[in-house]
Structure 1
Amino acid sequence: MTPSGRLALTASPLVAGALQALQRATGLPVAMGGPVSAGSRTLVIDQLRGTATGSLQHLRVDTGAGLGGKAVALGRPSTVIDYLNAQGITHKYDRAVAPERLRAMVALPVRVGASTRAVLYAATRDSITFGDRILRAASAVVARLERDIEVEEEVRRRVAAPPLGEHHDLRAELLAIAGSMHDDEARARLLEVCERLRPAEAPPGITLSPRELDVLRLVSEGCTNDEISERLGLLPNTVKSYLKHAMRKLDVSNRIQAVNRARAAGLLG
């Protein structure tokens, strides 16, 4: 938790998951975003999907400047049909945008309470007018992210200082919250917190195959199944099979629990 009590969003899995959902929901090839500093002074674009260069990576956007800065200043989505020739925005960041050849773009502020926490962008290299379908789909992704941020901040607050003797009730409540979350990565992280609130006990005599251990080690590093597949030279279905067998042996129901149970059994370093 940051000193102000806000969730640190830089490279947050919540934002990363929202950008992936934004691409799927809108059908637009480029998505990017990042956190807004306390006081809504500066946006930093620190996550990119579908870009061809690094020209926008770590770009700092002042409130009121460019499309994202306009969205922060107004507190509502802003769009352009052709970024480099658009009226109604400043062109302070044209040199960063130009290498990507982005034209139509929407910037969506992520607001929790009275403050803007992040900005998500969806863009295309074509000059198009965004219809209601795209804007509704993008707004739905932002709404889910806002809810998930609220939930995670509340969870962190409660876990940081649970009332004495109430760990069991807290764990049950957190499991219920996890079941209501839309973001898969956020749900997995919350389930990991729940697992830490329960003493880790591994069934005796567990033996995992070398490949099962390889897969679990990469899961512990935050790798997706596709990333594990690529790193180990396995088919995605083979990775799923190893995970399924490992979870059955460890008597758990998800990958995060499998990692924790394997560690408790001394199987992972």
Structure 2
Amino acid sequence: MDSRTPSLLRPRDGDALRAELRHTAALTAVPVLFGGEVHDGSLHLTEFLGTRTNGLKGLVVPPASGLGGRVVHLRRPSAVPDYGSDRTITHHYDGPVLGEGLRSVVAVPVMVAGTSRAVLYAAVRESTAIGDRTAEALIQAGRRLAAEITVRDEVDRRLRMLGVQDAASPAVDGAVAEGIRDAHADLRGIAQSVPEGPLRNRLRAVAEKLAALAGERDREAPDAVTLSPRELDVLAHIALGCTNNEVAHRLSLRPETVKSYLRGAMGKLDAHSRHEAVVTARRLGLLP
């Protein structure tokens, strides 16, 4: 069984898969790209570019069946120059594949922690081997998608570990609050390590949710103070008791840069010490 459970905080992995297919299409001249996620060991085909029929849509491929099931099972890329006559795969799906006119196909598994989590395909309608450039672009797309899914899994793991289910949960005790603060700082660090875009924004949104869960915001406090993402990153680690050098190491910044962000945060918070800055940020609901 698949132990992963849906999360309202987690973006749809299929959207990230589709984005990688589009990126690959922009880099190559391959006419057909498609793929899907692996659930409970079976591949579910859901995303398509360049197809002419609906034969492949919604297809569920068990392990070791066809080309996709083969790469899920073997956990490595595989290709067939002529799908209909190839002897290395089963032919349970000749109908939809050949009905689409596909001949040469390459499939790449998206590997996360040693498990196939999705499969990306590139295909042409001639029985000629797909070029190395296309195959390499698909492999790189698989690696990027694997990295993104890894980050999403880590976010989900931390939320499960903390037992955070609802923003309306009762106030947490001191030990759990400290754990949430640690996770909050880690999430902000992870967010900074991924490219600018929807995933980084989602990670920061999760961090803000944690801050709201653990914080005891003074409802009479003004709402005018806005810290930059980097100022919050630094202050979140300062709140854990980190020195400037430790913050610099965790966030891959220079110590002088950390000092600059800290000064900026202190100025906006009208704080005269790092401790006062943390206390004020918590009172304003900016930190857990």
TM range (shorter): 0.5 to 0.7
> Quick check: 1:177 aligned with 2:176?
no
- Indicate conservation of the 8 Å contact 1:148/1:183, yes or no: no
- Indicate conservation of the 8 Å contact 2:14/2:37, yes or no: no
- Indicate conservation of the 8 Å contact 1:148/1:182, yes or no: no
Which residue number in structure 2 is paired with residue 63 of structure 1?
63
Determine the C-alpha separation between the residues in 2 that align with 1:27 and 1:169: 46
Determine the C-alpha separation between the residues in 1 that align with 2:23 and 2:54: 22
In the alignment, which of 28, 32, 35 is matched to residue 34 of structure 2?
32
Determine the C-alpha separation between the residues in 1 that align with 2:134 and 2:79: 11
Which residue number in structure 1 is paired with residue 233 of structure 2?
none
Amino acid at match of 1:192: A
Which residue number in structure 2 is paired with residue 236 of structure 1?
none
Which residue number in structure 1 is paired with residue 108 of structure 2?
108
Q: In the TM superposition, what is the alpha-carbon distance from 1:166 to its structure 2 partner? A: 4.8
- Indicate conservation of the 8 Å contact 2:36/2:43, yes or no: yes
> Quick check: 1:82 aligned with 2:54?
no
- Indicate conservation of the 8 Å contact 1:17/1:185, yes or no: no
Determine the C-alpha separation between the residues in 2 that align with 1:99 and 1:182: 39
Determine the C-alpha separation between the residues in 2 that align with 1:128 and 1:60: 27
* Higher mean displacement: 10-19 or 129-138: 10-19
Structure 1 residues 17 and 98, CA gap change in structure 2 (3 angstroms)? same
Q: In the TM superposition, what is the alpha-carbon distance from 1:76 to its structure 2 partner? A: 0.8
| Deviation sequence 1:78-131 (CA, Å, 0-9, x none) | 112222233322221111112321222111111212321111111222333233
Structure 1 residues 145 and 6, CA gap change in structure 2 (3 angstroms)? farther
Which residue number in structure 1 is paired with residue 14 of structure 2?
12
Superposition map of 1:154-169 within 5 A:
154-162=154-162, 163-169=176-182
Q: In the TM superposition, what is the alpha-carbon distance from 1:179 to its structure 2 partner? A: 2.7
Which residue number in structure 2 is paired with residue 255 of structure 1?
none
Determine the C-alpha separation between the residues in 1 that align with 2:2 and 2:130: 39
Superposition map of 1:1-269 within 5 A:
4-5=3-4, 12-38=14-40, 40=41, 42-162=42-162, 163-182=176-195, 184-198=197-211
Determine the C-alpha separation between the residues in 2 that align with 1:171 and 1:135: 39
Determine the C-alpha separation between the residues in 2 that align with 1:31 and 1:112: 21
Larger RCO (CA under 8 A, 6+ residues apart): 1
Structure 1 residues 27 and 177, CA gap change in structure 2 (3 angstroms)? farther
Q: Secondary structure at the match of 1:159?
A: helix
- Indicate conservation of the 8 Å contact 1:31/1:123, yes or no: yes
Percentage identity across paired residues of the two chains: 37
Determine the C-alpha separation between the residues in 1 that align with 2:200 and 2:23: 15
Q: Secondary structure at the match of 1:56?
A: coil
Q: In the TM superposition, what is the alpha-carbon distance from 1:10 to its structure 2 partner? A: 7.2
Give every structure 1 segment of 4 or more consecutive aligned residues whose post-TM-superposition deviation is greater than 4 Å. 6-11, 166-169, 198-204
Structure 1 residues 202 and 7, CA gap change in structure 2 (3 angstroms)? farther
Amino acid at match of 2:79: T
Q: Secondary structure at the match of 1:107?
A: strand
Tell which structure's C-alpha radius of gyration is larger: 2
Q: In the TM superposition, what is the alpha-carbon distance from 1:54 to its structure 2 partner? A: 1.3
Determine the C-alpha separation between the residues in 2 that align with 1:67 and 1:140: 19
Determine the C-alpha separation between the residues in 2 that align with 1:184 and 1:98: 38
Determine the C-alpha separation between the residues in 2 that align with 1:31 and 1:202: 52
- Indicate conservation of the 8 Å contact 1:61/1:69, yes or no: yes
Q: Secondary structure at the match of 1:68?
A: helix
Alignment coverage as a number of residue pairs = 201
Q: Secondary structure at the match of 1:46?
A: strand
Q: With structure 2 as the length reference, what TM-score do the two structures score?
A: 0.60
Determine the C-alpha separation between the residues in 2 that align with 1:3 and 1:94: 28
Determine the C-alpha separation between the residues in 2 that align with 1:80 and 1:31: 15
